[in-house]
Amino acid sequence: MKLSDWIYSLSSTDHLILIMLYCICIYLSKITLETLIELYDEKKGHRKYRIQFRITPAILLSLAFIYSLFFYKILKEVFNFIP
């Protein structure tokens, strides 16, 4: 089955669940990146000439995708009906 066929076969509840799961993953990735930036700042001692990191959409969504893969693997083991 192609990905497009699978997406079209989902109900609106399934779409809502997938969107909510991905939003949770985006939130977790934002927390992770903010924590890493804070740890870097503490390690560098908040010096004036340290590298200023920021959270870009590309890295935020990429990390969220990785989190969603982890959640998929976990949920697949818990619920046997997930393809």
Q: What is the pLDDT of residue 78?
A: 84
Q: What is the pLDDT of residue 24?
A: 95
| CB distance 77 to 35 below 8 Å | no
Query: What integer is the mean pLDDT of 10-39?
Result: 92
Q: What is the pLDDT of residue 14?
A: 84
Q: Which residue has the higher pLDDT, 65 or 82?
A: 65
Q: What is the pLDDT of residue 76?
A: 80
Show the DSSP H helices in the chain as ranges.
3-9, 12-44, 57-78
pLDDT tens-place string over residues 27-65: 999 999 999 999 998 888 878 887 888 899 999 999 999
pTM of the predicted structure, to 2 decimals: 0.79
Domain boundaries, the chain: 22-78
CB proximity list for 29: less than 8 A, separation 6 or greater = 60, 61, 63, 64, 66, 67
